Amino acid sequence: MAASNTTIDQLNEAAQQTALETFAKFYLNRFFGAGLDVFSQLDKQGDLADINHYLLDNRTLTREELTNGLLTHRSGNLLDLLKQVKVNYNAQGAPETPWQEWYAAQIDKLPQGL
């Protein structure tokens, strides 16, 4: 199947919302799990700090509440971060490469220390 080359800002409103929800859940898994190294390398606008600040201020909330909170209070930051990440989506808002696979590939590209 050919890649669509559709970026986050080219999606319709419903597909963009799906993309944001999927990404917010993936982001939370990374935040509470193995870290956000790739995103910290790609974020040039400070969106990561704003997102993480919200998560730290609301750490007593459930994952579902945090997801909803990110989508309500930090959707602009999520959208900006996704624009910087430059992932392609299908028409329904799903990334063409699943987030886990994309992240693993990006880790392999990061410069390694001695």
pTM as predicted = 0.90
Residue 8 counted as domain residue: no
Helix 75-85, helix 13-31: angle, nearest 10: 90
Residue 23 counted as domain residue: yes
Residue 48 counted as domain residue: yes
> How far is residue 58's CA from residue 62's CA, in Å, rounded to a whole number?
9
What pLDDT shows up at residue 79? Answer: 97
Residue 37 counted as domain residue: yes
Q: Per the structure, how many domains does the chain have? A: 1
What pLDDT shows up at residue 114? Answer: 54
Provide, for the chain, the percentages of residues in helix, strand and coil under a 3-state DSSP scheme, each rounded to the nearest 5.
65, 5, 35
CA neighbor of 27 nearest in space, from 85, 99, 102:
99
Residue 87 counted as domain residue: yes
Residue 6 counted as domain residue: no
Residue 4 counted as domain residue: no
What pLDDT shows up at residue 1? Answer: 44
> How far is residue 91's CA from residue 96's CA, in Å, rounded to a whole number?
10
Q: What is the pLDDT along the chain (114 residues), one digit of tens a residue?
A: 445 689 999 999 999 999 999 999 999 999 999 889 899 989 999 999 999 999 999 999 999 999 999 999 999 999 999 999 989 999 999 999 999 999 999 988 877 765
Domain assignment of residue 53, given as a range? 13-108
Residue 114 counted as domain residue: no
What pLDDT shows up at residue 109? Answer: 82
